[in-house]
Each structure stands twice: as C-alpha cells, then as structure tokens.
Amino acid sequence: MTIVENYFFELRNLTKNFGLTKVLNKIFLSFIEGDRVLIVGPNGSGKSTLIKILLGLLSKSSGEIMLEGKEVNRPPLFESSFLGHNSLLYAPLSVLENLKLLLRLRDGSEELNLILEEWSLLTQKNKLISELSKGNEWRAALAVVLNRTASFLYLDEPTTSLDQSGRELFLGNFNKIALNKKLTVIATHDVRGLAETINRVVVLKHGQVSKDIRGNFKEAQLSSLYLEACS
C-alpha cells in the first residue's frame, strides 16, 4: 500500500559532478513539512554538497528539484538560513554591526539585546569579528543563523568550534527553533543531544542515500546509526 505524503520539497535523480568526480549520484529525497533531518556519513560522502544544493548555494549537474510542486533550477536563498564551515560574517565589522546587517535589526532594539544576552556576546558586541576568538565568532555566527526568520534551516557541522557551554547553548536554541521551521537539516559528527529534535535520519555513503529512517530516536539509536554509517 502506498502512503501518499504531502511532499513539498523533493530531489529526483539528483547528480552533482565536480569536474569529472561524481559527488552525489542519483539521489532521491522527499521532505514533508516539519521534517527535522540528521544527515550522517563518512567524510567525503557528499553531506556538505547535498546541503548546499538543498539550500540553493550550489547548482545541480542533473536531475530535478521540486519545490511546492513546481520544478526549480535552485531553491531561493532567502528561504534558507545556513551555517557551514565558515562563519559568514564580515571580519572588519563588529558583532553588533553584523547582527544588525544580517538580521535587519535596529540599533538598541530589544530583540538585539536579547540575542546578545542569550549568546553571552554583550561584552563582545563592539569587538570586530577578526578580533574574536574562534569560539566567540562561532557563537555570533549561530546567533545570526538561528534567529533568521527563513523557513528552512541548514546546519553543517555547527558545533565544531564550540566549547561545552557553547554546545549546550546551541542545543537549547536549536531544539526550540527547529520545531518552528518547515524543514531542518543538520549534518554533524556530534550527535549528542539531538535525539529530542530529530525525526528522520539519512545516511549518505559515496554520494548515495544508503538509509532513510523516519521516527522518534533515542540518543543511543542515533549514536549507533552514526557509528554504523561511518564504519
């Protein structure tokens, strides 16, 4: 019996080549609203490339991308918020200036102060990004990406540069915010604390989807899925 789901976002037969290397090979993925997806896989399996194609930063080599039933060349960037290997912040501008620019907030607004407070950036707010430590730069980056009003959230290794308190801050915010997004996709090697939010796990190996499981997960299940994927 086929269950007809309301897929609002689909990848059909999607392939991505970089020169002659096939990084993603005939991927079929369909998303329903409220999907909170964890992507796991060994290094070089194509996780980052897949996320960049989903969010519209990278174009596909072949295949179809369907958004709300219509085929698109690439999804519009303004629908997505994303954080990958770079902080996406302007180095010569201060934390405050970056937040104001990228979140379109006014000087002295309450929202701005709340964000700075939440991410322990009040004392750092006038420091330039280039003057911050990596950990603080990453807090600023996460403050931006998690406070965007875009409907899709994409995260690629978001906790690599964070210390323990930063991780806890991230998880607390992530769990709250992911529940309000149409689609959340996170690729990470650190699956601790994600169990309460994730409702779908996709395993990527050699550019292909090797497992795609929906459901509620316990922390142990996520860990074993991750270990199995990377072995």
Q: To the nearest whole angstrom, how small is the minimum distance from the Cβ of residue 196 to another protein? A: 27
Using CB under 8 A as the binding rule, whether residue 155 contacts another protein is answered as no
Q: To the nearest whole angstrom, how small is the minimum distance from the Cβ of residue 79 to another protein? A: 9
Binding residue (CB under 8 A) for another protein from 1, 6, 69, 104: 104
195 and 201 Cβ atoms separated by less than 8 Å: no
Q: Is 57 helix (H, G, I), strand (E, B) or coil?
A: coil
Please report, in angstroms and rounded to a whole number, the separation of the first and last CA atoms in the chain.
34
| Closer by beta carbon to another protein, 77 or else 213 | 77
Q: To the nearest whole angstrom, how small is the minimum distance from the Cβ of residue 88 to another protein? A: 3
Sheet-wide strand order for 21-32: 21-32, 7-18, 62-67, 70-72
| Closer by beta carbon to another protein, 64 or else 168 | 64
40 and 230 Cβ atoms separated by less than 8 Å: yes
Nearest to residue 157, comparing CAs of 38, 57, 74? 38
The footprint of another protein on residues 199-228 (CB under 8 A) is none
Using CB under 8 A as the binding rule, whether residue 133 contacts another protein is answered as no
Q: To the nearest whole angstrom, how small is the minimum distance from the Cβ of residue 37 to another protein? A: 19
Using CB under 8 A as the binding rule, whether residue 13 contacts another protein is answered as no
Question: Using CA atoms, how far apart are residues 155 and 60, in angstroms rounded to an integer?
Answer: 19
Question: Using CA atoms, how far apart are residues 141 and 119, in angstroms rounded to an integer?
Answer: 10
Using CB under 8 A as the binding rule, whether residue 80 contacts another protein is answered as yes
Residues making contact with another protein (CB under 8 A) = 18-22, 55-59, 74, 77-78, 80-82, 84, 86-93, 97, 101-104, 128-129, 144, 148, 150
